[in-house]
A = this chain, B = another copy of it.
Amino acid sequence: MARRRSEMLTDVELEFMIALWEIGTGSVRDIMGALDGEHQRAYTSVATVMKILDDKGFVTSDRKDRALVYSPAVEKGDYEGRSLKNLSKTLFGGTPTALVARLVDNEDLTDEMIQEIKEIIDTRIRKDDG
């Protein structure tokens, strides 16, 4: 516990959290196995970062016969929200509309995607009304 300077993860921390969110819960070895495998890292490197994540409060740990089993203390959706808020704040003046505007003027966004996005918005509007 303790530490928690920033509410945002560093690059490597995020990579490991993604692995943990993927598997739900797991030991250092499990997490190492769930990593993208691009980079190849020492067991102790993963263990060290997991401990840091524990210190920062992003995960919790439980001992299961000798080994630590980690679980997310922050949900992925929660962190996604944080990331969006963070990006919105730094680059879009805190207005999500500006963010969406930039998103949809991306050329390689297919018609289907746009349509899907429209449906998401419409659903949300209907939910508010109802």
- Chain A interface size, as a band, is 35 or more
Copies, count? 2
Interface residues of chain A: helix, strand, loop or mixed (majority) = helix
**Nearest CB to that of A117 among chain B residues?**
B100
Inter-chain CA distance A77–B113, complex, in Å, is 21
Known contacts being A104-B124, A121-B121, A128-B111, is A116 close to B99, with CB within 8 Å? no
Contacting residue for A120 out of B84, B100, B115, B124, CB 8 A: B100
Contacting residue for A114 out of B101, B118, B121, CB 8 A: B121
Inter-chain CA distance A48–B73, complex, in Å, is 39
Known contacts being A84-B106, A92-B80, A128-B111, is A120 close to B99, with CB within 8 Å? no
Q: Which residues of B contact A96 (CB under 8 A)?
A: 103, 106, 109, 113, 117
Please list the residues of chain A having a beta carbon within 8 angstroms of any beta carbon in chain B.
14, 18, 76-77, 79-81, 83-85, 87, 90-92, 95-97, 99-106, 109, 111, 113-118, 120-122, 124-125, 128
